[in-house]
Structure 1
Amino acid sequence: MDIRSLACFIAVAEDLHFRRAAERLNLTQPALSQRIRALEEQVGTALFERDRRRVSLTPAGQAFLAPARAAVASVGEAKSAALRAARGEFGRLRLGFTVIAFYGSLPDTVWRFRQRYPQVEVELQEMNSPRLERALDNGELDLGVLHPPLSTPSLVVHPLAELPMRLALPANHPLAGNEIVPLEALRDEPLLCAPRSVGPSIFDRLIGLLCAQGFSPRIALEVTPMTTLVGLVAAGAGLGFVTAGIAAIPRPGVVFRETTPPPPTLPLAAAWREPSLIPSAKRFLALVDESGR
């Protein structure tokens, strides 16, 4: 029992006239009659009373009409859902991100995506970059926003931005009065930083820059995420570098300063597993690019 035969039955039931129904369906009348007879054989009973003057539904035909309409509508809805999913307008998007990524335009992009594509369920998962890499590679996420370089060859990287860094220091620290802090002034200061295992590239570049100033930095504590680092700065545990996005949020007892020379930037990128993005992830990435990153 195919959907086309059900559609033929519905057309005849609505018009109660084989010729008009055939014209509506762009069929010949004999072809339509043949389909109806085949359908009646499948159902096991007559659906129409026919004579030379008129066509009418049998009691079985009357009972069959509503379920037939529901079946045709259901197939139409299924087809529509499939097409919307293929266009990225329906379904699910599993989006992973780092804490740092959410201190920028990403929350606004997620909000706009949900407004534009309300039938896409967005599942958000926060984790650090190495865990994001593993989750993407294992197929647990559709798209990740993280910090390259990556160590997983199967992932495609789409650069988004270079995030500037700021020095976080206690508001009562002697260097807090400087608008721009010379890095050489950090020679004897206790530094807070993320473990190298979380971000080896930024760790190596930052430590290398400090060593280039003629001293080996004194790392007092390895800490992640950067929001926790800011809290430890407020507690007087040391100084540390955070992104400008985090520095833009006022924190009592902490000030943020530029340095000379400036610290390395932190790259931000979208990543996904080869060979291609799912449609909803393509839609999301287009919104990210549209917002100017």
Structure 2
Amino acid sequence: MAILPPVIGILHQEVVLDIRTLACFVAVAEDLHFRRAAERMNLTQPALSQRIRALEAEVGADLFERDRRGVALTPAGAAFLSPAREAVRQAGIAKAEAMRAVRGEVGRLRLGFTPIAFYGVLPEAVQAFRARYMQVEVDLIEMSSPLLETALASGDIDLGVLHPPLTRDLIIHPLPDEPFVLALPATHRLAEQPVIRVADLAGEPLLLAPRAIGPSIYDRVIALFSGEGISPLIVQEVTPMTTLVGLVAAGTGLGFVTAGIARAARPGVAYRPVLPEPPSLPIAAAWRQPALSASGEHFLEIVRGLVVEGAASGGGRS
């Protein structure tokens, strides 16, 4: 966007003119009175006159005729007025756009998330954000939690929704944990029970995400079985969790999934609570030091609001 349109025969292409001085010229040209123009520009009259003289020296032509009868534009001043007025207008637009970007009202938000996280409040938050900030483009990027940490640290994404504990030095904002339930074939004998004991899973084929994907949650699930004096029979490591549900439907085994995944019902699969309670999956928003972008702050504000609404309504949003 050109801030200073050329004035044929008056402005050399290498001349640099500041917008404030151009605005002073436009004020004098419109008022044809130096004192009133100075008041309008919140300047003293000598300061305004000095700016106009400097502008005329820069242009290389007198822009005003000054005599006892008043002030009038010279032919050069008349030719200078229209493009100068446009330059001031365009500069105002440019400043307003820059400030909108600072406030996070325009631009781009690169949002990373794990497949599990997107079964919570995120879809609703993305819709609400896009409706409120229509001039901010949202890039949605699905990754595992470790890859999200790497992408945040390198600056490839602005905001990530992932699963602590983290291994990198990032700022985090905790979100509600996702509780685990057991997914099992609807025809399985244990599906008849409203609540399943961990001890009842002895010898049952178990599907579990690889430890490399989430070492903390993996170790806590193993500890859950150990606490009941049994060793889990892991028949397959699988990720993502949606694939695990598909394998359960195929009769491959049983496995823990989040309550958010369980809400997306799948034919042939039943979901049951387990006692003792399995570990819940921690979720947090994270970003790189020193601060989150303005658009990221707006998105996080929407997420917080939806979480509060969900808690108040008992909807269990995460």
TM-score interval (norm. to shorter): over 0.9
* Residue 212 (structure 2) aligned to one of 189, 193, 197: 197
Tell me the amino acid that sits aligned with residue 139 of structure 1. G
* Residue 119 (structure 1) aligned to one of 135, 138, 156: 135
* Residue 235 (structure 1) aligned to one of 243, 246, 250: 250
Relative to structure 2, which stretch is displaced further, 213-222 or 271-280? 271-280
Post-superposition shift, 1:194?
A: 0.8
Post-superposition shift, 1:235?
A: 1.3
Structure 2's unaligned 5+ residue stretches are: 1-16, 309-317
Matched, 1:177 2:192: yes
Size of the alignment, in residue pairs?
292
Secondary structure class of the residue paired with 2:78? helix
Post-superposition shift, 1:29?
A: 3.4
The change in CA–CA distance for 1:200 and 1:47 in structure 2 (over 3 A counts) is: same
- Number of the residue aligned with 1:53: 69
The change in CA–CA distance for 1:136 and 1:64 in structure 2 (over 3 A counts) is: same
After superposition, the CA RMSD in angstroms is 1.8
- Number of the residue aligned with 1:43: 59
Q: 1:276 & 1:32 partners in 2: Cα distance?
A: 41
Q: 2:155 & 2:72 partners in 1: Cα distance?
A: 56
Tell me the amino acid that sits aligned with residue 241 of structure 2. M
Q: 1:28 & 1:146 partners in 2: Cα distance?
A: 58
Secondary structure class of the residue paired with 1:141? coil
Q: Deviations over 1:16-36 (max 9, x none)?
A: 233322232233434323322
Superposed, 1:1-293 pairs within 5 Å as 1-152=17-168, 154-291=169-306, 292=308
Tell me the amino acid that sits aligned with residue 282 of structure 1. E
Q: 1:131 & 1:63 partners in 2: Cα distance?
A: 60
Q: 1:214 & 1:28 partners in 2: Cα distance?
A: 87
Post-superposition shift, 1:64?
A: 2.1
Q: 1:235 & 1:59 partners in 2: Cα distance?
A: 86
Q: 1:185 & 1:23 partners in 2: Cα distance?
A: 85
Post-superposition shift, 1:54?
A: 4.5
Secondary structure class of the residue paired with 2:58? helix
After superposing on structure 2, the runs of 4+ consecutive aligned residues of structure 1 that deviate more than 6 Å are none
Structure 1's unaligned 5+ residue stretches are: none
